[in-house]
Every structure is written in C-alpha cells, then in structure tokens.
Structure 1
Amino acid sequence: MSIRLLICDDDALIRESLRIILSMDEEIEVIDVAENGLKALDICIKNIIDIVLLDIRMPLMNGVDATREIINKTKSKVIILTTFDEDEYIKEALSNGASGYILKNNPPDKIINTIKLVASGNNVMEESVFNKFKENMSYNEEKIDTSLFTERELEIIKAISEGMSNKEISAKLFISEGTVKNYITNILDKTGLNHRTQIAIYYIKGKV
C-alpha cells in the first residue's frame, strides 16, 4: 500500500520538482500539492492523506499553524521541510505535533527515507536541527520527578528517546501497539508535554 503524500510549498518550482522526484518512488503516491497551509488543511480534510510535507513560511497560513490544524483535525502526519532552522519554528512545529523536521538541502533519497520512516510510526529530526533545539531549550524547565512513572513507563520513555516507533517498542517490550499508545498518553498527561518528541528531548537533557 503506497504512502499518500501531500506537498505544500509556496514556491511552484519546488512543489513541482518534489512532485516529480517523490512520485518516482513506487511506495509514494503524491495525491496533491498546495501553495499555502490553508489549502493543505482543506485537502487533508477532504482526502485521505498519510503524510504532509510542509514548508514553514507561506502566505495565508504558515507551516507552524498548519501543522497544529492538520494534527488536530485530521489523521495526517506532518513533516516540516524547510530552508529555515530558526529555534522558534522548531519549537512551535514540534509542539504542534510535527513528526519530522528536515532541511531542503538534503538529497532526495534522505527526504524519501524520512517520509517512509514517519509513515511507519517514527519521528525524524535532522541532527543539526535537533542539536540546535536541544542546546537552546529554556534552562528554567524543571526536572520531572521520575517517581511519577511506573517502571514500564520509564522503559518506554527511554525507547522513545532512542527514536523507536510504537511498533518497535511493542516488539521490544512484548506488549501491543495499543498498549504502547496508552502508556505514551499517560506519560504526556503526567508531564504536561504535548508530543512524544518533547519526551525524547527531556530525557536526553536529563529532565526525566
């Protein structure tokens, strides 16, 4: 079954170039393209879209706001693909639920691989972007008390920080994917965090 993809970028040349390049992979089906976040949201609501490849700076609705709306109103996953790596965009996009954040200067095969990884349940972030985000996180964040978590929840937090998907965690811990999702929901509720990537960041920084 192919990955149903939507490409959203306000640059027509980039949109069409990505459409041509990504369509060449037999596992990816480009359903449509959009020039702004508002149109991308509308397409996601009206169609079954597995992955949205979103630019950040666009008219009418930017990629950060579009990420929030798409995640809240559809079942689509979002990958931010941009030339920008400013801290505020990274934080906002991840807080709004983006599953991936990579830069446009990557070769096509890395973009394709990122799409496939996210489609299979992984979170993907460019190493340079991840390091910048990690280094510039606010230092006034309080450490989360580990006594809040069960031993199983701590195992899942560690697995998330290692970039494992729900399926991989399920296989490693011999529990169902549904149970993994329930544990992650509990972890997010206990920490007040919004997204599993934030769990990984907190763990790596020693906040959990």
Structure 2
Amino acid sequence: MKIKVIIADDNSFIREGLKIILSTYAEFEVLVTVSDGKEAVDYCLKHEVDIALLDVRMPNMNGVEATKLICEQTNTKPIILTTFDDDDYILDAIKNGARGYLLKNNDPEQIRDAMKSVMNGNSIIQDVILEKIKSNLSETKATETKIDLNLFTEREREIMSLIARGFSNKGISKELFISEGTIANYITSILGKTGLEHRTQIAIYYITGKVE
C-alpha cells in the first residue's frame, strides 16, 4: 500500500520538484502540493494523509504552526523539510509533534528513507541539526544534562544520553548489552514520565531539560 504524501512549500519550483522526485518511487503517492501551512492543515482534515512534508517559512501559516494543528487534529505525520537550520524553528517544530526535521539539500534517497522510517514509527532529526542545537544551548555537551535526575533511574538516564547522541535502539543495545525489547520498554517508561511522544523529543528534553 502506497504512502500518501502532501507537500507544502511556497516555492512552486521546489514543491513541484519534490513531487516529481517522490513520484519516481513506487512506495509514494503524492496527493497534492500546496503553497502554505493553512492549505496543508485544511487538506489533512479532509483527506487521509500519511505524511505531510512542510516547509518552515510559508505565508498565512508556517510549517511549525501547521505541524501543531496537524498533530492535534489528524493522524498525519509531519516532517519539516527546509533550508533553514534555525534552532528556534527546530525546537518548536519538535515540541509541536514533528516526526522529522530534514534539510532540503539531502539526496532524494535520504528523504525517501527518512519518510519510510517515520512511517515505521521512528523519528528523524539529522545529526547536523542535533549538533547545532547542542552547540548553541549554553555550550551543553551530549554528556551533560539539565533533566531532573530524581525522575529517572540510572539506566533510563543512560538510554536518554545515548538517544541524545543519536544512537538507534540497535546501537544502544550494543552499547549497554541489553536487548532492543528491553530498551523499548525503558523508552516507553521515559515517555510516560515526561509526557513526550517520541524519541526525538527525548533527545531535546535531555539536552534542554524542558518539556513544553
């Protein structure tokens, strides 16, 4: 069954280009392209959409605002796709429920793989973006944290640290010598304690200490 996608970008060249690229892959069906966030939200409310690719800076409603409404009112998974690696946009988009944050200069295969990964329940944030967040938050290092240490067990803190460093569940399993199933259980516990929804938010929370 094909993954149903919409593309929202105020640059017609970019959105039509993305449509052509994604249409070359058998696993995707591009339902529509729109020019602003409001149009994207309205479409998702009326149709079944799997993934919404959203530019950040658009007229009427930007991608961050659209992400919030789409997550609150539909089952669509938003992915921010942009040329801007601005920290505020990144954090706000993730807080609003974005399941991915990718730069437009990625190869088509990377965008394809990221979208498929999101459909499989994962969250995607590029290393270059995560590193930028780390470097600009009071020079916070990946091994340092601002979280409430009393809220989590030592093992949960270890797993959060590795997630913030970009480790997958498989990578964490190898690092800590525990099964991926056990790691998934720990992540579920962390999400329950914080009220967060996915691992990308865990990474940001571990770095900033904030749940918003």
TM-score, length-scaled by structure 1: 0.80
Percent identity of paired positions between Structure 1 and Structure 2: 47
Aligned to 1:172: 180
Quote the Cα distance in structure 2 between the aligned partners of 1:180 and 1:40.
35
Q: Which runs of 5+ in 2 are unaligned?
A: 174-178
Alpha-carbon distance, 1:160 to partner: 4.3
One-letter code of the match for 1:90? I
Cα RMSD (Å): 3.1
Aligned to 2:22: 22
For residue 200 of structure 1, give the secondary structure of its aligned residue in structure 2: helix
**Cα deviation code 1:163-194 (max 9, x no counterpart):** 547xx99x71259x7x67853441323xxx67
- Contact (CA 8 Å) 1:4, 1:30: kept in 2 or not? yes
Quote the Cα distance in structure 2 between the aligned partners of 1:159 and 1:128.
16
- Contact (CA 8 Å) 2:125, 2:200: kept in 1 or not? no
Alpha-carbon distance, 1:153 to partner: 4.7
| 1:137 and 2:143 matched | no
> Alignment length, in residue pairs?
199
Q: Could you say if the C-alpha distance between residues 2 and 154 of structure 1 is closer, same or farther in structure 2, counting changes exceeding 3 Å?
A: farther
- Contact (CA 8 Å) 2:8, 2:54: kept in 1 or not? yes
Quote the Cα distance in structure 1 between the aligned partners of 2:100 and 2:27.
18
Alpha-carbon distance, 1:62 to partner: 0.6
- Contact (CA 8 Å) 1:70, 1:76: kept in 2 or not? yes
TM-score, length-scaled by structure 2: 0.79
- Contact (CA 8 Å) 1:94, 1:195: kept in 2 or not? no
| 1:188 and 2:191 matched | no
**Cα deviation code 1:66-90 (max 9, x no counterpart):** 1111111111111111111122211
- Contact (CA 8 Å) 2:137, 2:208: kept in 1 or not? no
Q: Which runs of 5+ in 1 are unaligned?
A: none
- Contact (CA 8 Å) 1:153, 1:187: kept in 2 or not? no
